[in-house]
Chain A
Amino acid sequence: QLTQSPSSLSASVGDRVTITCRASQGITTYVAWYQQKPGKAPKLLIYGASTLHSGVPSRFSGSGSGTDFSLTISSLQPEDFATYYCQQFKTYPLTFGPGTKVDIK
């Protein structure tokens, strides 16, 4: 089971934003992070907890192992306002966190 915090946040362009994801049991680094905008499919940002997917801006970064993970956006841009999900790949069924909605302050 995955939990995320906060469930939502309001931020301004240029802010540093950190989202956390906690697993109920250790999942080493079998975590991915996605960005989803309304009416669109999720988009892969990070895999293996900290590896940036090809084409994703370097302002996104991921860290963590075991049970605690984080996604950081170093300088929030207008196109980053969206919902973010973590996903674990350690055990079946593969599961997603409940999401963190980032909107404009």
Chain B
Amino acid sequence: QVQLVQSGAEVRKPGASVKVSCKASGYTFISYPIHWVRQAPGQRPEWLGWINVGNGNTKYSQNFQARVTITTVTSANTAYIEVSSLTSGDTAVYYCARDAPLAPGFDYWGQGTLVTVSS
């Protein structure tokens, strides 16, 4: 069965960076794009960007383009998101999600990784 398993919770100080991983299993990793979404407490989900795993092309939200980098290691079936210059406003649960095969929609999601930014 399709699974996306993310790395554990992280705590960082303002100004630091964080890198979250998302390991895929149960399907052909290079065949489906991976998106990253974050959700602050009590807020709606917020899309950060996506990667075409097959060719490595990326697209980022303009709101985060300068601070977010999405990569993959295809030999390990793993996607990553790195967020730099963290502030308290980046405290959120970060999710990876797979793009559905038939039409736009995120059909499988990771369990989420809580990133806390605090001095």
Contact = CB atoms under 8 A, between A and B. Distances in A.
Interface of A: 30, 32, 34, 41-44, 46-48, 51, 53, 85, 87, 89, 92-99
Main secondary structure of the interface of B (DSSP, over half): loop
Contacts of B100: 44, 47, 53
A43 B112 CA distance: 13
Interface residues on B, range: 20 to 34
Contacts, number: 60
Given A92-B61, A93-B62, A47 B105 contact: yes
A42 B104 contact: no
Interface string B96-119: 010010111111011110000000
Contact of B107 (A30, A53, A85, A96): A53
A76 B46 CA distance: 28
Nearest to A90: B104
